[in-house]
Structure 1
C-alpha cells in the first residue's frame, strides 16, 4: 500500500520524502537557534531551504509540530546513545566519561544546537511541551542511573544525583553559547578539556 502524505496524496518516493524531511529539520533547527522559536516563521524556514512553504506543509502541519519533531530527532537520538552507553559492560567511571564526551560533542552539532539554546519553548501548547519534556526527562534519568552506579562502586562522589546530572548537562552544553571557530581551541580540544574538568569534580 502506498504511503499517504499529509495532504492526502500518495507518496511516490518514500526515500526521497524522508531525505527532504531531514533537510527540513536541519533548516528548522538552524532558524530556531538563530531567531528563537517565537520569532521564527515557516517562511523563514522555507527561505533557509530555498523552497516554498508548501514543501514544509506537505510534511508538517504547523510550526509547533516541526519544532517538536526537531527536538524529538535530536533529544531522542541522544537518549538512544546514552542508553547504549549505560548498558555497556565495565565501570561506571568509564561509562560516565563516554556519556559526557557524547553530550559535550552535541554542543557542536548544528541540529542539536537549537535544543541547547532554547531550553524552554514559550508559545508551545501544553501537549507539545509535555512531549518534549518526556524525552528530556528520559535522558536525565539515564544519566542519574549512571551516576548512582558510580557512587555505588566508589568511583564517583556525588552528594545530590539530580542536581549533579542537571549541572553536567548544562556544563556540556556551554560551548554552544560561547564557542567561536577562530578561538584558540578546536572542538576536539574543548571536549577533551571540558570532560576532564567535569570528571575531576565528581571522581572519588
Structure 2
C-alpha cells in the first residue's frame, strides 16, 4: 500500500513538472519567435516574461532544452489540427478544402512560430544537440502530410505513387517559400500557397 501511494505521488510530481514546463514554454514562445535562436538566451526570455531566470533554469537545462520543448509542443498542435481535418472529411474535395484552409490560416497567423521552427532546423546542421529533436519533429510532420495525402487518395479512389519523404519534401518546400513571402509582407503569399498546393495535389492524385 505504501509503495502504491508513493508511486502515485511520484506520478503527480512528474505531471506537475511537465505541466509547469508547458506553461513556461507557452509564456516564452512570443520572445523566442521574435528573436530567433541566435539572439535568445534564458536571461533574455526572463526579461521579456513574468518568470525569473532562476525559474526558467530550474525547469530547463538551457536554451536548447527550452526552445526544442516550445517548438515540439507547437508542432504537435499543428499535427492535431490537420488530423481533425482528415477525421471529419467524407470526400476528397472536402479534405482538400480543409487542408488548404489550415495551411493558409497557419501561414498568416503563426508565421513567427514557423520561422522559429525553420531557424531551429537550420541550426541543427551546426548544433548536434538539436538533431535528435529536429529529426523527431520532422518525422511527425512527414507522417502528418502522409496521412492527409493518403486519405485524400483513398477518398478519391486512386493509388498514390510516391513515398512519404518525397511528399513531405514537396509540401514543406512550398510552405517554406510561402513563409518567406509572408514574412516579407507579400499579401498574396497565402493565396498563392493554396493555389500551388492544390495544383500539386491534383498532379499527385490526377484522377481525383
How high is the TM-score relative to the length of structure 1? 0.70
The CA deviation at 1:18 is: 6.3
**Structure 2 unaligned spans of 5+:** 1-8
Any residues of structure 2 matched to 1:39-188 within 5 Å, and which? Answer: 40-49=40-49, 52-108=52-108, 109=110, 110-120=112-122, 121=124, 122-125=126-129, 129-154=131-156, 159-162=161-164, 163-180=166-183, 183=186, 185=187
Contact 1:97 1:195 in 2 (8 A): no
What SS does structure 2 have at the residue aligned with 1:195? helix
What SS does structure 2 have at the residue aligned with 1:196? helix
CA distance in 2, matches of 1:21, 1:138: 20
Q: Which moved more, 1:44-53 or 1:20-29?
A: 44-53
The CA deviation at 1:53 is: 2.4
Contact 2:31 2:45 in 1 (8 A): yes
What SS does structure 1 have at the residue aligned with 2:121? coil
Q: Could you list the per-position Cα deviations for residues 58-113 of structure 1 after superposition, in whole angstroms to 9, with x for gaps in the alignment?
A: 43221121011111121111111122222223123421332243234333313333
Classify 1:142/1:19 alpha carbon distance in 2 versus 1 (closer, same or farther; 3 Å). Answer: closer
How many pairs were matched up?
A: 188
Give me the CA root mean square deviation: 3.6
The CA deviation at 1:158 is: 5.8
Contact 2:82 2:144 in 1 (8 A): yes
**Structure 1 unaligned spans of 5+:** none
The CA deviation at 1:38 is: 4.8
Does residue 194 of structure 2 align to residue 195 of structure 1? yes
